[in-house]
Amino acid sequence: MKERLFSWIDKSVDLAVELETELTKRRGISPDSGGEGEYDKCLFLEKWLISHGITKIKRYDAPDNRAKGGVRPNLIAVIDGEKNEEEGCLWIMSHTDVVPPGDEKLWESDPWTVIRKDDAPGSRLIGRGVEDNQQGLVSSVLAAMAFVSQGIKPARTIKLLFAADEEMGSSYGIGWLVKNHESLFNQKDIVLVPDGGDKNGEKIEIAEKNILWMKFTTYGKQTHGSTPNTGVNAFIAGSELALCLHNELSATYCNHDKMFSPDYSTFQPTKKEANVPNINTIPGEDIFYMDMRILPRYPIKSVLVEISGITAKLEKKYGVKIETSIIQSGESKPTPHDSAVVKAISEAAGEVYKIKTHPVGIGGGTVAAYLRNIGIDSVVWTKTDETMHQPNEYVLLENIIGDAKVMALLALNL
Protein backbone atom coordinates (compact mmCIF):
# COMPACT_ATOMS: atom_id res chain seq x y z
CA MET A 1 0.00 0.00 0.00
CA LYS A 2 2.81 2.38 0.83
CA GLU A 3 4.31 1.99 -2.63
CA ARG A 4 0.97 2.77 -4.30
CA LEU A 5 0.49 5.86 -2.14
CA PHE A 6 4.02 7.10 -2.79
CA SER A 7 3.75 6.45 -6.52
CA TRP A 8 0.56 8.52 -6.73
CA ILE A 9 2.08 11.35 -4.70
CA ASP A 10 5.20 11.39 -6.90
CA LYS A 11 2.95 11.95 -9.93
CA SER A 12 1.00 14.79 -8.29
CA VAL A 13 3.43 17.69 -8.84
CA ASP A 14 1.16 19.36 -11.39
CA LEU A 15 -1.75 19.15 -8.95
CA ALA A 16 0.42 20.76 -6.27
CA VAL A 17 1.34 23.62 -8.61
CA GLU A 18 -2.29 24.09 -9.62
CA LEU A 19 -3.56 24.23 -6.05
CA GLU A 20 -0.76 26.54 -4.89
CA THR A 21 -1.43 28.86 -7.83
CA GLU A 22 -5.17 29.09 -7.24
CA LEU A 23 -4.87 29.50 -3.47
CA THR A 24 -2.35 32.32 -3.84
CA LYS A 25 -4.71 34.25 -6.13
CA ARG A 26 -7.21 34.36 -3.27
CA ARG A 27 -5.38 36.42 -0.71
CA GLY A 28 -6.86 35.43 2.65
CA ILE A 29 -5.58 38.46 4.57
CA SER A 30 -7.17 39.16 7.95
CA PRO A 31 -9.33 42.28 8.41
CA ASP A 32 -6.85 43.14 11.18
CA SER A 33 -4.25 43.55 8.43
CA GLY A 34 -6.54 45.38 6.00
CA GLY A 35 -7.88 42.34 4.14
CA GLU A 36 -11.27 40.73 3.56
CA GLY A 37 -10.55 37.43 5.32
CA GLU A 38 -10.48 33.88 3.99
CA TYR A 39 -13.99 33.60 2.49
CA ASP A 40 -13.10 33.41 -1.23
CA LYS A 41 -10.14 31.15 -0.56
CA CYS A 42 -12.17 28.74 1.55
CA LEU A 43 -15.03 28.53 -0.95
CA PHE A 44 -12.58 27.80 -3.75
CA LEU A 45 -10.82 25.13 -1.71
CA GLU A 46 -14.09 23.43 -0.81
CA LYS A 47 -15.14 23.21 -4.49
CA TRP A 48 -11.68 22.07 -5.57
CA LEU A 49 -11.60 19.26 -3.00
CA ILE A 50 -15.06 18.02 -4.00
CA SER A 51 -14.09 18.02 -7.67
CA HIS A 52 -11.05 15.89 -6.80
CA GLY A 53 -12.89 13.22 -4.83
CA ILE A 54 -12.82 14.55 -1.25
CA THR A 55 -16.52 15.06 -0.68
CA LYS A 56 -17.09 14.68 3.07
CA ILE A 57 -16.66 18.34 4.00
CA LYS A 58 -18.21 20.71 6.53
CA ARG A 59 -17.71 24.42 7.15
CA TYR A 60 -17.71 26.12 10.53
CA ASP A 61 -18.11 29.88 10.19
CA ALA A 62 -16.90 32.19 12.94
CA PRO A 63 -18.92 35.45 12.79
CA ASP A 64 -16.87 38.54 11.88
CA ASN A 65 -18.78 41.44 10.36
CA ARG A 66 -15.52 43.03 9.18
CA ALA A 67 -14.84 40.15 6.79
CA LYS A 68 -16.29 39.30 3.40
CA GLY A 69 -19.45 37.27 3.88
CA GLY A 70 -19.51 38.34 7.52
CA VAL A 71 -17.63 35.20 8.58
CA ARG A 72 -14.22 33.65 8.96
CA PRO A 73 -14.71 30.12 7.58
CA ASN A 74 -13.04 27.02 8.99
CA LEU A 75 -13.21 23.96 6.75
CA ILE A 76 -12.97 20.31 7.79
CA ALA A 77 -12.56 17.49 5.24
CA VAL A 78 -12.87 13.87 6.37
CA ILE A 79 -11.40 10.67 4.92
CA ASP A 80 -12.85 7.70 6.77
CA GLY A 81 -10.43 5.23 8.31
CA GLU A 82 -10.53 1.63 9.47
CA LYS A 83 -10.92 2.51 13.15
CA ASN A 84 -14.00 4.00 14.74
CA GLU A 85 -13.67 7.76 15.30
CA GLU A 86 -14.16 7.19 19.02
CA GLU A 87 -10.74 5.52 19.01
CA GLY A 88 -9.24 8.82 17.87
CA CYS A 89 -8.67 10.56 14.55
CA LEU A 90 -5.57 11.95 12.88
CA TRP A 91 -5.98 15.68 12.40
CA ILE A 92 -3.72 17.58 10.02
CA MET A 93 -4.30 21.24 10.70
CA SER A 94 -3.17 24.00 8.36
CA HIS A 95 -4.35 27.60 8.00
CA THR A 96 -5.76 29.53 5.06
CA ASP A 97 -4.87 33.09 6.06
CA VAL A 98 -1.62 34.76 5.02
CA VAL A 99 0.25 37.90 5.99
CA PRO A 100 0.41 40.93 3.66
CA PRO A 101 3.33 41.02 1.22
CA GLY A 102 5.02 44.00 2.87
CA ASP A 103 7.08 46.28 0.63
CA GLU A 104 6.22 44.99 -2.84
CA LYS A 105 9.32 46.70 -4.29
CA LEU A 106 11.32 43.95 -2.58
CA TRP A 107 9.51 41.27 -4.57
CA GLU A 108 10.89 40.06 -7.89
CA SER A 109 7.33 39.33 -9.10
CA ASP A 110 3.69 39.91 -8.19
CA PRO A 111 3.24 38.34 -4.72
CA TRP A 112 -0.22 37.05 -5.68
CA THR A 113 0.83 35.33 -8.92
CA VAL A 114 2.76 32.11 -8.44
CA ILE A 115 6.02 31.93 -10.37
CA ARG A 116 7.79 28.60 -10.88
CA LYS A 117 11.57 28.57 -11.02
CA ASP A 118 13.71 25.53 -11.67
CA ASP A 119 17.02 26.72 -10.25
CA ALA A 120 18.92 26.71 -6.99
CA PRO A 121 17.91 25.86 -4.28
CA GLY A 122 15.60 23.57 -6.27
CA SER A 123 12.39 23.58 -8.25
CA ARG A 124 10.28 26.09 -6.35
CA LEU A 125 7.18 28.24 -6.38
CA ILE A 126 7.34 31.91 -5.40
CA GLY A 127 4.41 33.87 -3.98
CA ARG A 128 2.89 35.09 -0.73
CA GLY A 129 1.64 32.15 1.30
CA VAL A 130 3.13 29.36 -0.82
CA GLU A 131 5.15 28.12 2.16
CA ASP A 132 3.19 29.65 5.06
CA ASN A 133 0.93 27.75 5.20
CA GLN A 134 0.09 26.43 1.76
CA GLN A 135 2.98 23.97 1.81
CA GLY A 136 1.39 22.14 4.73
CA LEU A 137 -2.11 22.60 3.33
CA VAL A 138 -1.24 21.23 -0.12
CA SER A 139 0.83 18.35 1.30
CA SER A 140 -2.09 17.29 3.52
CA VAL A 141 -4.47 17.43 0.56
CA LEU A 142 -2.15 15.31 -1.60
CA ALA A 143 -1.76 12.74 1.18
CA ALA A 144 -5.55 12.51 1.57
CA MET A 145 -6.11 12.33 -2.18
CA ALA A 146 -3.62 9.48 -2.44
CA PHE A 147 -5.78 7.37 -0.13
CA VAL A 148 -8.98 8.31 -1.97
CA SER A 149 -7.58 7.78 -5.46
CA GLN A 150 -6.04 4.41 -4.57
CA GLY A 151 -9.06 3.14 -2.65
CA ILE A 152 -6.96 2.63 0.48
CA LYS A 153 -8.37 3.27 3.94
CA PRO A 154 -6.05 4.89 6.47
CA ALA A 155 -5.75 3.31 9.91
CA ARG A 156 -7.44 6.24 11.62
CA THR A 157 -9.93 8.62 10.09
CA ILE A 158 -8.06 11.60 8.64
CA LYS A 159 -9.51 15.03 9.33
CA LEU A 160 -8.01 17.93 7.42
CA LEU A 161 -8.68 21.21 9.19
CA PHE A 162 -8.16 24.39 7.17
CA ALA A 163 -8.39 27.06 9.85
CA ALA A 164 -8.85 30.82 9.67
CA ASP A 165 -7.02 33.56 11.52
CA GLU A 166 -3.80 31.81 12.53
CA GLU A 167 -1.63 34.80 11.68
CA MET A 168 -3.51 37.11 14.05
CA GLY A 169 -4.02 34.84 17.05
CA SER A 170 -6.70 32.31 15.98
CA SER A 171 -9.66 34.02 17.69
CA TYR A 172 -11.74 33.15 14.61
CA GLY A 173 -9.92 29.89 13.89
CA ILE A 174 -8.91 27.04 16.17
CA GLY A 175 -9.52 29.19 19.24
CA TRP A 176 -13.12 29.75 18.16
CA LEU A 177 -13.59 26.07 17.26
CA VAL A 178 -12.30 24.85 20.63
CA LYS A 179 -14.54 27.34 22.44
CA ASN A 180 -17.70 26.78 20.40
CA HIS A 181 -17.31 23.26 18.98
CA GLU A 182 -15.08 21.39 21.42
CA SER A 183 -17.09 18.22 20.79
CA LEU A 184 -15.38 18.01 17.39
CA PHE A 185 -12.29 16.80 19.21
CA ASN A 186 -11.59 13.65 21.18
CA GLN A 187 -8.81 13.25 23.73
CA LYS A 188 -7.70 10.16 21.80
CA ASP A 189 -7.15 12.30 18.70
CA ILE A 190 -3.65 13.17 17.61
CA VAL A 191 -2.77 16.32 15.69
CA LEU A 192 -0.08 17.30 13.22
CA VAL A 193 0.34 21.02 12.50
CA PRO A 194 2.56 21.34 9.38
CA ASP A 195 3.45 24.97 10.07
CA GLY A 196 7.00 25.09 11.35
CA GLY A 197 10.22 23.15 11.20
CA ASP A 198 13.66 23.35 9.65
CA LYS A 199 15.46 22.79 6.35
CA ASN A 200 16.22 19.15 7.11
CA GLY A 201 12.92 18.19 8.75
CA GLU A 202 14.73 17.10 11.90
CA LYS A 203 12.85 19.17 14.49
CA ILE A 204 9.53 18.03 15.94
CA GLU A 205 8.04 20.86 18.01
CA ILE A 206 6.34 19.50 21.13
CA ALA A 207 6.33 22.52 23.47
CA GLU A 208 5.99 26.30 23.39
CA LYS A 209 6.98 29.10 25.65
CA ASN A 210 4.14 30.93 27.33
CA ILE A 211 3.37 34.11 25.43
CA LEU A 212 2.43 37.50 26.86
CA TRP A 213 2.03 40.67 24.79
CA MET A 214 1.25 43.83 26.73
CA LYS A 215 0.62 47.52 26.17
CA PHE A 216 1.95 50.07 28.68
CA THR A 217 0.55 53.61 28.76
CA THR A 218 2.24 56.19 30.99
CA TYR A 219 0.38 59.41 31.83
CA GLY A 220 2.32 62.45 33.01
CA LYS A 221 1.70 66.14 32.36
CA GLN A 222 2.41 67.83 29.04
CA THR A 223 4.30 71.11 29.09
CA HIS A 224 6.73 73.31 27.16
CA GLY A 225 10.20 71.89 26.55
CA SER A 226 11.82 74.92 28.21
CA THR A 227 9.94 74.44 31.49
CA PRO A 228 10.04 70.72 32.34
CA ASN A 229 9.58 71.65 35.98
CA THR A 230 5.94 72.53 35.25
CA GLY A 231 5.11 69.12 33.81
CA VAL A 232 5.80 65.41 34.21
CA ASN A 233 7.68 63.77 31.33
CA ALA A 234 5.82 60.59 30.50
CA PHE A 235 8.53 59.59 28.03
CA ILE A 236 11.23 59.47 30.72
CA ALA A 237 9.01 57.45 33.07
CA GLY A 238 7.97 55.14 30.22
CA SER A 239 11.59 54.63 29.15
CA GLU A 240 12.67 53.64 32.65
CA LEU A 241 9.62 51.39 32.87
CA ALA A 242 10.69 49.55 29.71
CA LEU A 243 14.21 49.07 31.07
CA CYS A 244 13.00 47.95 34.50
CA LEU A 245 10.58 45.45 33.02
CA HIS A 246 13.28 44.01 30.77
CA ASN A 247 15.99 43.84 33.42
CA GLU A 248 13.99 42.87 36.50
CA LEU A 249 11.80 40.26 34.82
CA SER A 250 14.86 38.72 33.14
CA ALA A 251 16.58 38.49 36.53
CA THR A 252 13.52 37.03 38.28
CA TYR A 253 12.65 34.43 35.62
CA CYS A 254 16.22 33.36 34.94
CA ASN A 255 16.14 29.58 34.52
CA HIS A 256 17.29 27.88 31.33
CA ASP A 257 15.83 24.98 29.35
CA LYS A 258 17.93 23.51 26.54
CA MET A 259 14.84 22.33 24.66
CA PHE A 260 14.25 25.95 23.62
CA SER A 261 16.27 28.42 21.58
CA PRO A 262 17.01 30.82 23.13
CA ASP A 263 16.95 28.64 26.22
CA TYR A 264 15.67 31.37 28.56
CA SER A 265 12.62 33.61 28.99
CA THR A 266 12.67 36.85 26.98
CA PHE A 267 11.12 40.20 27.92
CA GLN A 268 11.50 42.60 25.01
CA PRO A 269 10.15 46.15 24.55
CA THR A 270 9.12 46.31 20.89
CA LYS A 271 6.57 48.68 19.36
CA LYS A 272 6.65 52.39 20.35
CA GLU A 273 3.84 54.80 19.56
CA ALA A 274 4.44 58.45 18.69
CA ASN A 275 3.89 60.82 21.60
CA VAL A 276 4.22 64.47 20.52
CA PRO A 277 4.74 65.78 16.95
CA ASN A 278 7.28 68.47 17.83
CA ILE A 279 10.61 68.62 19.63
CA ASN A 280 9.83 71.40 22.11
CA THR A 281 6.93 69.73 23.94
CA ILE A 282 7.32 67.52 26.99
CA PRO A 283 4.99 64.54 26.36
CA GLY A 284 2.22 63.90 28.82
CA GLU A 285 1.51 60.44 27.43
CA ASP A 286 3.82 57.65 26.33
CA ILE A 287 2.91 54.22 24.95
CA PHE A 288 5.04 51.17 24.26
CA TYR A 289 4.50 47.41 23.95
CA MET A 290 6.35 44.33 25.12
CA ASP A 291 6.68 40.85 23.66
CA MET A 292 7.36 38.31 26.40
CA ARG A 293 8.15 34.63 25.73
CA ILE A 294 8.31 32.79 29.02
CA LEU A 295 9.50 29.28 29.82
CA PRO A 296 6.50 27.02 30.55
CA ARG A 297 7.63 26.47 34.14
CA TYR A 298 6.65 30.08 34.93
CA PRO A 299 2.88 30.81 35.07
CA ILE A 300 1.77 34.03 33.40
CA LYS A 301 -0.15 34.93 36.56
CA SER A 302 3.16 35.13 38.42
CA VAL A 303 4.68 37.40 35.77
CA LEU A 304 1.68 39.74 35.93
CA VAL A 305 2.16 40.10 39.70
CA GLU A 306 5.79 41.11 39.14
CA ILE A 307 4.77 43.59 36.45
CA SER A 308 2.24 45.15 38.79
CA GLY A 309 4.94 45.68 41.40
CA ILE A 310 7.31 47.30 38.92
CA THR A 311 4.67 49.68 37.56
CA ALA A 312 3.64 50.70 41.09
CA LYS A 313 7.27 51.50 41.94
CA LEU A 314 7.66 53.72 38.84
CA GLU A 315 4.34 55.48 39.45
CA LYS A 316 5.53 56.48 42.88
CA LYS A 317 8.99 57.53 41.70
CA TYR A 318 7.81 59.81 38.88
CA GLY A 319 4.31 60.83 39.96
CA VAL A 320 2.76 59.26 36.86
CA LYS A 321 -0.13 56.91 36.24
CA ILE A 322 0.59 53.71 34.34
CA GLU A 323 -2.11 51.65 32.63
CA THR A 324 -1.44 48.12 31.42
CA SER A 325 -3.45 45.96 29.07
CA ILE A 326 -2.94 42.45 27.76
CA ILE A 327 -2.90 42.16 23.97
CA GLN A 328 -2.31 38.42 23.86
CA SER A 329 -1.75 35.82 26.52
CA GLY A 330 -1.41 32.06 26.30
CA GLU A 331 0.02 29.08 28.10
CA SER A 332 0.64 25.71 26.51
CA LYS A 333 1.04 22.23 27.94
CA PRO A 334 3.76 20.16 26.25
CA THR A 335 3.14 17.01 24.24
CA PRO A 336 5.08 14.09 25.79
CA HIS A 337 8.25 13.35 23.82
CA ASP A 338 7.38 9.65 23.81
CA SER A 339 3.78 10.09 22.58
CA ALA A 340 2.45 8.05 19.66
CA VAL A 341 2.38 11.00 17.26
CA VAL A 342 5.99 11.99 18.01
CA LYS A 343 7.17 8.42 17.47
CA ALA A 344 5.14 8.04 14.27
CA ILE A 345 6.37 11.29 12.73
CA SER A 346 9.93 10.47 13.69
CA GLU A 347 9.69 7.11 11.94
CA ALA A 348 7.88 8.46 8.86
CA ALA A 349 10.16 11.48 8.41
CA GLY A 350 13.17 9.26 8.98
CA GLU A 351 12.05 6.88 6.24
CA VAL A 352 11.14 9.56 3.68
CA TYR A 353 13.98 12.02 4.27
CA LYS A 354 16.63 9.67 5.71
CA ILE A 355 17.06 11.79 8.82
CA LYS A 356 17.07 11.47 12.60
CA THR A 357 14.53 13.74 14.28
CA HIS A 358 14.52 15.24 17.77
CA PRO A 359 11.88 17.05 19.86
CA VAL A 360 12.23 20.80 20.48
CA GLY A 361 10.40 23.68 22.07
CA ILE A 362 9.87 27.05 20.40
CA GLY A 363 9.33 30.64 21.44
CA GLY A 364 6.56 31.40 18.98
CA GLY A 365 2.95 30.48 19.57
CA THR A 366 1.21 27.95 17.33
CA VAL A 367 -2.32 26.64 16.97
CA ALA A 368 -1.15 23.36 18.53
CA ALA A 369 -1.33 25.02 21.95
CA TYR A 370 -5.12 25.22 21.83
CA LEU A 371 -5.39 21.46 21.46
CA ARG A 372 -2.63 20.58 23.89
CA ASN A 373 -4.47 22.62 26.48
CA ILE A 374 -7.57 20.41 26.15
CA GLY A 375 -5.51 17.25 26.47
CA ILE A 376 -4.87 16.32 22.82
CA ASP A 377 -1.32 15.39 21.79
CA SER A 378 -0.25 17.81 19.08
CA VAL A 379 3.02 18.45 17.31
CA VAL A 380 4.32 20.94 14.78
CA TRP A 381 6.49 19.53 12.01
CA THR A 382 7.39 20.11 8.40
CA LYS A 383 10.49 20.26 6.21
CA THR A 384 10.71 23.90 5.27
CA ASP A 385 13.17 26.45 3.92
CA GLU A 386 11.65 28.98 6.36
CA THR A 387 10.96 31.82 3.94
CA MET A 388 7.60 32.63 5.53
CA HIS A 389 6.70 36.34 5.86
CA GLN A 390 9.70 37.31 3.73
CA PRO A 391 9.71 39.02 0.32
CA ASN A 392 9.92 36.42 -2.47
CA GLU A 393 8.58 33.71 -0.16
CA TYR A 394 9.02 30.35 -1.83
CA VAL A 395 8.31 26.68 -1.35
CA LEU A 396 10.34 23.77 -2.68
CA LEU A 397 8.20 21.33 -4.63
CA GLU A 398 10.26 18.45 -3.26
CA ASN A 399 9.18 19.50 0.25
CA ILE A 400 5.49 19.47 -0.69
CA ILE A 401 5.86 15.98 -2.15
CA GLY A 402 8.09 14.67 0.64
CA ASP A 403 5.85 16.02 3.40
CA ALA A 404 2.81 14.47 1.70
CA LYS A 405 4.57 11.10 1.86
CA VAL A 406 5.33 11.58 5.56
CA MET A 407 1.67 12.42 6.21
CA ALA A 408 0.53 9.39 4.21
CA LEU A 409 2.81 7.10 6.20
CA LEU A 410 1.56 8.68 9.40
CA ALA A 411 -2.05 7.97 8.41
CA LEU A 412 -1.19 4.46 7.26
CA ASN A 413 0.66 3.41 10.41
CA LEU A 414 -1.00 5.12 13.38
Set 166, 195, 208, 377: catalytic member = 166
**Cβ atoms of residues 212 and 366 within 8 Å:** no
> Which stretch of DSSP H or E encloses residue 75?
strand 71-79
The HSE-up count of residue 245 (CA atoms within 13 Å, CB side) is: 30
The secondary structure of residue 383, as a DSSP letter, is B
Q: Among 16, 9, 19, 20, which Cα is nearest to 152's?
A: 9
Q: Rounded to an integer, what distance in angstroms lies between the CA atom of residue 183 and that of residue 233?
A: 53
Instruction: Please spell the DSSP secondary structure of 24-41, one letter per residue.
Output: HHS--B-GGGTS--SHHH
Q: Which of 46, 97, 131, 167 is catalytic?
A: 97
Per-residue buried b or exposed e for 108-124, using 16+ beta carbons within 10 Å of the residue's own CB: eeebbebbeeeeeeeeb
Cα→Cα distances 198→118, 154, 356, Å:
21, 27, 13
Active site residue 385: no
257 is catalytic: no
Scanning 202-287, the segments in alpha helix (DSSP H) are: 234-252
Partners of 256 in the β-ladder: 264
The half-sphere exposure of 306 on its side-chain side, counting CA atoms within 13 A, is 17
Q: For residue 335, which of 125, 191, 144 has the smallest C-alpha distance?
A: 191
- Annotated catalytic residues are 97, 166
